[in-house]
Structure 1
Amino acid sequence: MRFAALRTLFAGRLPALVMLDLDGTLIDSVPDISRALDATLRARNLPAAGAARARRWVGRGSRQLLRDALAFGAALEPGQVDTQELERALGDYLARYLDDCTRDTRVLPGAAELIEALRGAGVKAACVTNKPLAIAERVLAHFFLPGRFDTVIGGDSGAAPKPDPAPLLAVMRRLAVEARETVMIGDSRHDVRAARAAGIAVIACANGYNHGEDIRGEGPDLVIDTLGELL
């Protein structure tokens, strides 16, 4: 049966809406994020953080990413980072990343196929990410066919970012879909916690980022290694 794993969460039916995280769920973006982040640090005479550290930091939004990186570079606790320097570094990083955000990013296995299959089955799809909206839209436009996502919400779209349920609730209101008909798919604890707070089912990708921790500890409804397992 097609979509067998999805159907197990909805009493044999398909959900009306699938919401997906971006980084670590649909794409591996760490190479491009890390390059922009390291350039931002070097411009401040701070040591590069490298891809391994960036991978652990991704998922909590760009401001927290820069806070972690600046703290690492200056041997500080994140809370000790100067607010004005953080804002300057954030602007620098976002400009660098927006300018070069697709060079080494790759679509994760099964992602494109799942999105196409969902569209073909009449299921609505939305991307809910903590990444800035302009960057998210540029990345999605580069890697996916037009019109494959009914809506996209970024970390700067007005709602509080995940793990707050606000962006998930906003998508459901926008697309007129109820919580009982919706599932969130993501790779981090913020995705799982946002989904739980929104009252919707949640599927976790075990091979994503999640700050170096095992996502199973968050108790999602289903754990997968690749999105292709949902086909």
Structure 2
Amino acid sequence: MTHHPGTPSAPRVEGVLFDLDDTLLDLRTAQLAAFTATVRRQWPQAPDVGSRRFDDAAHHFAADVAGHYQRYVAGETDFTGQRLARARDALTQLGAPEALAVPRPELWTDAYEAEVRSHWALFEDVAPTLEALRRRGVAVGIITNNVEAYQRGKADTIGLTDVRVLVGSDTAGAPKPDPAPFLEACRRLDLAPAQVACVGDSLTHDVRGAAAAGLVPVWLRRGLPDAGRPVWEPEAAAWQVAGLGALTAWWDADLASREEMG
């Protein structure tokens, strides 16, 4: 492997922390499916799925373009409030008449929640990657910007019961990118921050937050060409992977190096 000047050597880490939503769990797909079903219940005459207007509104909702979820994380609104605010913005963007642009709470709370839960699923590379890390003796955990009890239930539902370390923003006392949740997760793994990599899809919350807390930052960018190993991204000052399976290359390279030395 060519080592370019300024590229750090591959780290030797003993634990990996993962963001949950849109890193392990394909939440975006579940949100889009639930959004589509709930919009139809709220406004049967809404634009067709696949139209530019519908797709833009769905993206606006799932990506939380206006930052309502972050206001919830900051304690400025409650969970229901952020959900209804996102729905209102999306319905308005869809062009709903004024009366129908006001989200019906019964649709966008319990009904939406049941719908989105029915679509929860892990990305295909999650289970084999976690198993591969365990075989290599690597400790794993989850760090998330949501209530820990809710996320624990979510993780158990999608088959992550074996990942016992899960830190939510409420129990850590602050959300990512604050150092608190990263350090609490390292404490629960019984590892120093420098011994732990943190993998997530958010450059701000996961990558820069992890780096500031002293962890090894790994930016997950699904959809990019897969190099088969973590690649140093100098502009982000972080390692970059296109899929989780690339992570195991670190331990495989380390094992090969030790065998050569032996």
Question: Which residue of structure 1 lines up, in the alignment, with residue 58 of structure 2?
Answer: 51
Q: Structure 1 124/100 Cα, relative in aligned 2: closer, same or farther at 3 Å? A: farther
Question: What is the match of residue 245 of structure 2?
Answer: 228
| Distance across 2 between alignment mates of 1:33 and 1:222 | 28
Q: Identity of paired residues, percent? A: 28
| TM-score, length-scaled by structure 1 | 0.69
User: Of 123, 137, 142, which residue of structure 1 is paired with 2:152?
Assistant: 137
| Residue pair 2:60, 2:90 contacting (<8 A) in 1 also | no
Instruction: Classify 1:124/1:158 alpha carbon distance in 2 versus 1 (closer, same or farther; 3 Å).
Output: same
**Whole-Å separation in 1 of the counterparts to 2:190 and 2:201:** 25
Q: Please tell me the residue identity of whatever aligns with 1:223.
A: Q
Q: Residue in 2 aligned with 1:181?
A: 195
CA–CA separation in structure 1 for the residues paired with 2:178 and 2:109: 23
Q: Aligned ranges for residues 205-224 of structure 1 at < 5 Å?
A: 205-207=220-222, 219-224=236-241
Q: Is the 8 A contact 2:207 2:219 kept in 1?
A: yes
Kindly indicate whether the alpha-carbon contact (under 8 Å) linking 2:61 and 2:89 is maintained by their aligned counterparts in 1.
Answer: no
Cα offset, 1:180, TM superposition: 1.2
CA deviation digits over 1:110-160, x for unaligned, max 9? 11111111122221111111133333223321322532x131122333421
What is the deviation of 1:96? 4.6
The TM-score normalised by the length of structure 2 is: 0.62
> Separation in 2 of the partners of 1:97 and 1:156?
23
**Larger CA Rg, structure 1 vs 2:** 2
Amino acid at match of 1:177: L
Residues 204-231 of structure 1: CA deviation (Å, up to 9, x unaligned):
11128xxxxxxx6961421111111223
Query: Alignment partner of 1:106: what SS?
Result: coil
TM-aligned CA distance change 1:71 to 1:95, over 3 Å: closer
SS of 1:113 mapped into structure 2 = helix
Per-residue deviation, 1:73: 4.7
Give 2:184's match in structure 1, choosing from 170, 183, 194. Answer: 170
The answer to which structure, 1 or 2, has the higher relative contact order (CA under 8 A, 6+ apart) is: 1
Shift of the 168–218 alpha-carbon distance from structure 1 to 2, 3 Å rule, reads: farther
Give the letter for the 1:165 counterpart.
P
Contact 1:109 1:226 in 2 (8 A): no
**1:155 maps onto 2:169 in alignment:** yes
Residue segments in structure 1 that go unaligned for 5+ positions in a row = 1-7, 77-84, 209-215
**Paired residue secondary structure (1:196):** helix
- Cα pair 2:143 2:166 within 8 Å, conserved: yes
Counterpart CA distance in 2 for 1:67 and 1:225 is: 33
Q: 1:63 aligns with which of 57, 72, 75?
A: 72
Give a deviation string over 1:150-177, Cα, whole Å, max 9, x none. 3112233342111212111111122221
Decide whether aligned partners of structure 1 residues 122 and 217 sit closer, same or farther in structure 2, where only a CA change above 3 A counts: closer
| Uncovered stretches (5+) of structure 2, i.e. residues with no partner | 1-8, 47-53, 74-81, 94-101, 224-232, 249-262
* 1:93, distance to aligned residue in structure 2 (A): 5.3
CA deviation after TM superposition for structure 1 residue 199, in Å? 1.2
**Per the alignment, in what secondary structure is the counterpart of residue 160 of structure 1?**
coil
Question: Quick one: distance in 2 between partners of 1:176 and 1:154?
Answer: 17
Paired residue type of 1:176: D
Alignment partners' CA distance in 1, 2:71 and 2:149: 13
Q: Is the 8 A contact 2:83 2:109 kept in 1?
A: no
Within 2, Cα distance between the matches of 1:230 and 1:103?
29
**Amino acid paired to 2:72:** R
1:23 positional shift? 1.4
Q: Give the letter for the 2:10 counterpart.
A: L
| Structure 2 Cα separation of the partners of residues 92 and 170 of structure 1 | 36
* Residue among 17, 22, 26 paired with 2:20: 22
